[in-house]
């Protein structure tokens, strides 16, 4: 059978897995998703079902962690621990098609470069179960000496807690659940935002904490790396009013330190919830003759 030019794009996240077919002209087809499986075996079984549905010419993956593109091993750690420590090239070798994977935040950044090729120095912050990030210098992805470039989630923010531990809507929801005495997964971040709008005082406090922590993290990033733009990705980046709340708090920080040279430019990612898939395809394109 002759293989099509369509590739399989896969985004592995802490709470969900997305799968889609992507054509060389950038069209996303047959997108589907499931909650992140409990085990590697369950994940591979689900992927095998999807990959068997048509004859793909390659596999492009967006994954958390420090990705070694030579070996296909995901080093470091993430909210999906079972994906680390082995070669994905070997795990998917039975399909006999090219496999390329990249860090999820790097994928969001690569998708943003497609939308804004004029960008030279930028930072990308992906707000999911934790915080991921990517740095671009002179229009190229900067990974650092040990593949940890852009791991903003490891930065400490408050009382020994990191950006990833306190600066996401997922962790906001967990704090809310803890305060009202229910299981930590009982209420979602989206529900906490809705409860806050309806006047729930605890929800309002935790939404305010979320915006404060997120802005603190972005402030530190801006004045550590000095990017021309900070791009926000992840599901919460689509929330109405997010940028207005961040910018209001950012201005307060600037006034506190009497910083008047510029105001950080913070935007949400162009491809929104498809950014990881588009970025994975862009990485695949860079490694092959496949065109996007």
As a whole number of angstroms, the distance between CA 228 and CA 225 comes to 9
Label the pairing between strands 73-75 and 66-68: antiparallel
User: Is the pTM here over 0.85, yes or no?
Assistant: no
Checking if the pLDDT of 1 tops 50, the result is: no
**Average pLDDT score over residue span 95-110:** 93
Checking if the pLDDT of 109 tops 80, the result is: yes
**Average pLDDT score over residue span 158-182:** 96
As a whole number of angstroms, the distance between CA 176 and CA 133 comes to 26
Please name the residue that has the structure tokens 């330190």: 257
Burial class (CB in 10 A: 0-12, 13-18, 19+), 210: buried
Query: What is the per-residue pLDDT across 9-44, written as a single tens digit (0 to 9) for each?
Result: 999 998 899 999 999 888 999 999 999 999 999 999
**Residue 45 is encoded by which pair of tokens?**
């079984």
- Residue 76 confidence (pLDDT): 86
Instruction: Tell me how far CA of residue 182 lies from CA of 79, 175, 179, 196, in angstroms.
Output: 22, 10, 8, 17
**Average pLDDT score over residue span 42-59:** 96
For the chain, what is the largest distance between any 2 Cα atoms, rounded to a whole number of angstroms?
Answer: 66
Instruction: Find out whether 246 and 159 touch, Cβ atoms under 8 Å.
Output: no
Label the pairing between strands 229-233 and 161-162: unpaired
User: Of all residues in the chain, what percent carry a pLDDT higher than 70?
Assistant: 98
**Residue 44 is encoded by which pair of tokens?**
């591979």
């Amino acid at each position: 059978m002759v293989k099509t030019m369509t590739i399989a794009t896969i985004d592995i996240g802490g709470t969900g897995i997305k799968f889609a077919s992507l054509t060389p002209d950038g069209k996303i087809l047959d997108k589907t998703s499931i909650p992140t499986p409990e085990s590697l075996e369950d994940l591979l079984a689900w992927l095998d079902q999807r990959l068997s549905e048509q004859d793909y010419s390659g596999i492009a993956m967006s994954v958390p962690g420090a990705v070694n593109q030579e070996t296909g091993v995901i080093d470091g750690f993430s909210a999906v621990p079972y994906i680390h420590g082995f070669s994905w090239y070997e795990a998917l070798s039975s399909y006999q098609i090219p496999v390329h994977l990249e860090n999820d935040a790097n994928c969001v950044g690569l998708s943003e470069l497609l939308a804004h090729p004029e960008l030279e120095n930028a930072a990308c912050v992906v707000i999911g179960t934790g915080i991921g990030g990517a740095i671009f210098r002179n229009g190229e992805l900067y990974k650092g000496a040990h593949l940890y470039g852009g791991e903003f989630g490891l930065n400490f923010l408050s009382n020994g807690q990191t950006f990833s531990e306190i600066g996401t809507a997922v962790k906001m929801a967990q704090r809310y659940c803890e305060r009202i005495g229910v299981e930590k997964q009982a209420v979602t971040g989206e529900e906490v935002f809705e409860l806050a709008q309806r006047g729930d005082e605890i929800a309002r406090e935790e939404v305010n904490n979320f915006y404060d922590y997120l802005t603190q993290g972005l402030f530190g990033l801006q004045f550590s790396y000095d990017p021309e733009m900070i791009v926000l990705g992840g599901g919460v980046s689509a929330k109405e009013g997010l940028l207005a709340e961040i910018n209001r708090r950012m201005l307060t920080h600037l006034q506190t330190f009497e910083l008047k040279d510029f105001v950080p430019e913070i935007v949400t990612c162009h491809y929104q919830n498809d950014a990881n898939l588009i970025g994975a395809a862009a990485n695949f394109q860079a490694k092959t003759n496949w065109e996007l």
